[in-house]
Amino acid sequence: MTQAEIMFAVRANVLAVLVAVQSLVGAVELCSTDGSSSGQHAFSCSQGVIENIDITHQASNNFTTLSSTPGLFGWYDPKICSGDYCVFANRDIANGRGMSVISTTHNLQKIRRTQNRLYEQDINKSAQDPPPYEVKNLKGKGLRLVANRTIKRGEHLMAWSPVLLVRKTFFDDVPAEEQNHLLAAAFKLLPEKTQKQFQGQLFVANAGSSRALKDIVLRHSFETDLGWAAQGRDEYHYASYPEVTVFHHDCRPNVAFYIDGAHIHRTNVARKIQPGEELTITYINNPLQSRRERQKMVKKWTGSECSCSLCSAHKDVIKASEDRLKEIRRLQAKLADHESTGVTKAMIDRYIKLYKEERLETRLADAYELVATNYNYLGFSKEAKKYAMLSAQAGAIEGGREANNVIAMNILAKDPEGHYSYRMKAKKGTL
């Protein structure tokens, strides 16, 4: 085949794909995923049920070849847009897991800059084989992730790349009907296996009754920042990781997670987990919130108030927790103020003691950092080194070894007395 014939064939394939996708989007009005007795799901629209359209088959069997070169033919732009928001898809990214994006062209370029990391061998699977957990259908709770052996603090559990990224402002800027068009197209452009994994989010206990794609995205996604904000607006995106939805919320969880610079969701064990114990994460960003504030935040995401062991405990247990949180907040405000006076070793010891009693194991890095810094302010270099090392260890679990606070605490631990903070308050006369 001549070069001219090859180019003609490529153009024909691209045109066929575009026609297939445009015909799909013209048909999907007010679409949702509709459950059936067999446990399978299809698209349900005002006109009825849409067949499982095979875009690759309608276009050409060569579509897979056409899109198999990341960075060259990998990203597909079907020209399905509403204002600045467009659908983009890459069916072979992350070793065939695929990804769809609803965002601006500028944001797509940011994603492409880090996409090579999505081909690393340690992601999109359990970190161990066999995994130290299993999914169980617990009576009255639905699908839950349960430990099948003792899991030690610091063990890495899993890492997953997103299958769908949607700019947060999309839901404010785009009319509801057009949102449905773009979401449906983004879903159908995912590989079939990934579509089924996405639909699996309907079966977790907190899935709710809605089958609308928008509700699934808003209920189960995490937020990730693409950075380099434009026109005064941040670049936070909803990121969907279907396999992670089996983790349920607990105000005092045993698993920490973070989303790295390539938007990979990583989970690590924050405290020792016993066989048969459920693995949980938290939806709460601020662990020092009161029970009332936590209930409000959880209800916003799941539609119901939190029923974790702490929130559903006896009133005396809840009161003791509320009292500890109030004292922690008071002490933290004083320790975080570099100009505060009257800070003592006993005060620092009391702060970290309360933190541990409150079972805040997934948020220890910041607490240890505050303790290490204040010990160094007072000239206790031995204690400062100890807690700086503990902070770095906790920070690696909570945010990765390359996190800024991990680097900062390693520097402090290496030479406390040569650090800028050593006896800083004594030098300023603010003891």
Residues 233 and 341 in one domain: no
Euclidean distance between CA atoms 39 and 120, whole angstroms:
33
Give the pLDDT of residue 387. 98
Which of 281, 298, 325 terminates a domain? The answer is 281
Residues 72 and 196 in one domain: yes
Residue 290, amino acid: S
Q: Is residue 28 part of a domain?
A: yes
> What's the pLDDT at 27?
36
Task: Answer whether residue 289 is part of any domain.
Answer: no
Check: CB of residue 134 under 8 Å from CB of residue 148. Answer: yes
Q: Look at residue 138 in the predicted model and tell me its pLDDT.
A: 77
Residue 137 burial by CB count (10 A; 0-12/13-18/19+): exposed, middle or buried? exposed
Residue-level pLDDT at 229: 63
Q: DSSP string covering 12-75, please?
A: HHHHHHHHHHHHHHHH-SS-EEEE-TTS-EEEEETTEEEP---HHHHH-TTHHHHT-STTTTSS
Whether residue 68 sits in one domain with residue 210: yes
One-character DSSP codes across 4-27? HHHHHHHHHHHHHHHHHHHHHHHH
- In tens digits, the chain (431 residues) has pLDDT values of 554 444 444 444 444 444 344 444 333 333 333 333 333 333 332 222 223 333 333 333 323 333 333 334 589 999 999 999 999 999 999 999 999 999 999 999 999 999 999 999 889 999 999 999 999 887 777 778 999 999 999 999 999 999 999 999 999 999 998 999 999 999 999 999 999 999 887 766 555 555 678 888 988 899 999 987 655 567 899 999 999 988 999 999 999 999 999 999 999 999 999 999 999 999 888 989 999 999 998 888 777 888 899 999 999 999 999 999 999 999 999 999 988 888 999 999 999 999 999 999 999 999 999 999 999 999 999 999 999 999 999 999 999 999 999 999 999 999 999 999 999 877 665 55
The 3-state DSSP class for residue 337 equals coil
- 287 occurs within a structural domain: no
| pTM for the structure as a whole | 0.81
pLDDT at residue 231, rounded to an integer: 57
* Torsion sign across C-alpha atoms 245, 246, 247, 248: positive
How many distinct structural domains can be found in the chain?
Answer: 2
Are residue 249 and residue 374 in the same domain, yes or no?
Answer: no
State the residue range of the domain holding 75: 3-281
Which secondary-structure segment (H or E) carries 237? Answer: strand 236-240
Answer whether residue 230 is part of any domain: yes
**Closest Cα partner for 186 from 281, 280, 73, 103?**
103
Domain boundary among 227, 257, 281: 281
Both 333 and 224 in one domain: the answer is no
Same domain, 7 and 147: yes
pLDDT at 66: 31
